[in-house]
């Protein structure tokens, strides 16, 4: 398959007896299907969020066992901002029922030892076989919120004056109301000028990102760039991924036409 799955183990899981040898079992199951795993264990909420931010462009899906962080809203927000399938696993059914993460995950599994992890890996592999490889293409069950890009096709270029269509390589100006690099730069500029707070910018970015996932139009040829920028801004108020003014200026530069 040539794809990579990020496996996150939450606090204290490495101390459990039924955790011994688990990573080896997961790697073997993944290898049998040509799937690579990146496995990270952290005892800290920020460590898990930092890993998600750092790896979000290099993996195709996430399997997470939050363990004692099943009630973490910062972790929930970080997972919700990802445009890829996310599978939640638990070793205790009670925590699975109480988890605040489940509504933003593609599917949830609970059980003993390696069983829920293996089910999550199998679920990811099966979804990719059904829908074809690619980030964010795994369908979620009807009861779960579907994550990932819903419509990656770019809007068709509008006819030029006189009925002529734009030639290859020409870029149509973004229509009014369409998400564009100019609009995102404008919002960042407002944040730098102090007319928009960091929380307001993050909230705006999250709304825009969700609209794009539902198929809202975006500037032709820049949909992926805009999605990545909105994800970065959505996470920008979290301690683990807070952006400095200099980083905001760098992001604006990346969005220059």
Joined together, the tokens standing for residue 42 give: 């952290």
Residue 157: the pLDDT is 42
Q: Please check the confidence at residue 88 and state whether its pLDDT lies above 70.
A: yes
Average pLDDT, the chain: 80
- Over pLDDT 70: what percentage of the chain? 79
Highest mean pLDDT among 15-19, 37-41, 164-168, 215-219 belongs to 37-41
Helix (H, G, I), strand (E, B) or coil at 130: helix
Residue 139: the pLDDT is 40
Global pTM reads: 0.58
pLDDT band at residue 42 using 50, 70 and 90 as cut-offs: very high
| Euclidean distance between CA atoms 143 and 145, whole angstroms | 7
Highest mean pLDDT among 45-49, 163-167, 171-175 belongs to 45-49
Q: Please check the confidence at residue 152 and state whether its pLDDT lies above 60.
A: no
Residue 173: the pLDDT is 53
Q: How far, in Å, are 32, 34, 59 from residue 37 at the CA level? A: 12, 10, 9
Strand order in the sheet with 35-41: 35-41, 3-9, 61-65, 86-90, 107-110
Max CA distance (Å), the chain = 73
Structural domains of the chain in order of their starting residue, each with its CATH number: 4-132 (3.40.50.9100), 181-255 (no CATH)
Residue 48: the pLDDT is 95
pLDDT band at residue 1 using 50, 70 and 90 as cut-offs: low
Q: Please check the confidence at residue 9 and state whether its pLDDT lies above 90.
A: yes
149 or 82: which carries more pLDDT confidence? 82
| Euclidean distance between CA atoms 229 and 217, whole angstroms | 16
The answer to whether the CB of 238 falls within 8 A of the CB of 74 is yes
Q: Give the mean model confidence (pLDDT) for residues 154-173.
A: 44
Joined together, the tokens standing for residue 206 give: 């999250």
CA atoms within 13 A on the CB side of 241: 24
Q: Where are the beta strands (DSSP E) in 69-218?
A: 86-90, 107-110
**Burial class of residue 232, CB neighbours in 10 A (0-12, 13-18, 19+):** buried
With residue 194 as reference, give the H or E element that holds it: none
- Residue identified by tokens 């009014």 is 176
pLDDT band at residue 166 using 50, 70 and 90 as cut-offs: very low
């Amino acid at each position: 398959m040539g794809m990579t799955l990020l496996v996150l183990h939450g606090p204290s899981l490495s101390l459990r007896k039924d955790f011994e040898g688990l990573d080896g079992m997961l790697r073997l199951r993944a290898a049998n299907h040509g799937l690579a795993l990146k496995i990270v264990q952290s005892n800290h909420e920020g460590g898990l969020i930092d890993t998600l931010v750092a790896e979000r462009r290099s993996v195709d899906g996430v399997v997470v066992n939050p363990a004692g962080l099943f009630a973490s809203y910062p972790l929930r927000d970080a997972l919700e901002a990802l445009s890829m399938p996310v599978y939640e696993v638990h070793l205790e059914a009670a925590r699975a029922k109480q988890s605040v993460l489940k509504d933003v995950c593609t599917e949830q599994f609970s059980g003993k030892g390696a069983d829920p992890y293996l089910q999550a890996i199998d679920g990811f592999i099966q979804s990719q076989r059904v829908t074809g490889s690619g980030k964010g293409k795994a369908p979620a069950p009807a009861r779960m919120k579907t994550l990932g890009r819903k419509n990656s096709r770019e809007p068709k270029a509008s006819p030029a004056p006189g009925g002529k269509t734009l030639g290859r390589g020409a870029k149509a100006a973004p229509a009014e109301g369409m998400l564009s690099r100019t609009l995102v730069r404008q919002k960042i500029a407002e944040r730098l000028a102090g007319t928009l707070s960091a929380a307001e910018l993050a909230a705006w970015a999250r709304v825009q990102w969700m609209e794009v996932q539902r198929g809202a139009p975006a500037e032709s040829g820049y949909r992926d760039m805009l999605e990545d920028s909105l994800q970065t801004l959505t996470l920008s108020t979290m301690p683990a991924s807070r952006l400095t003014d200099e980083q905001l200026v760098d992001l604006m530069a990346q969005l220059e036409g």
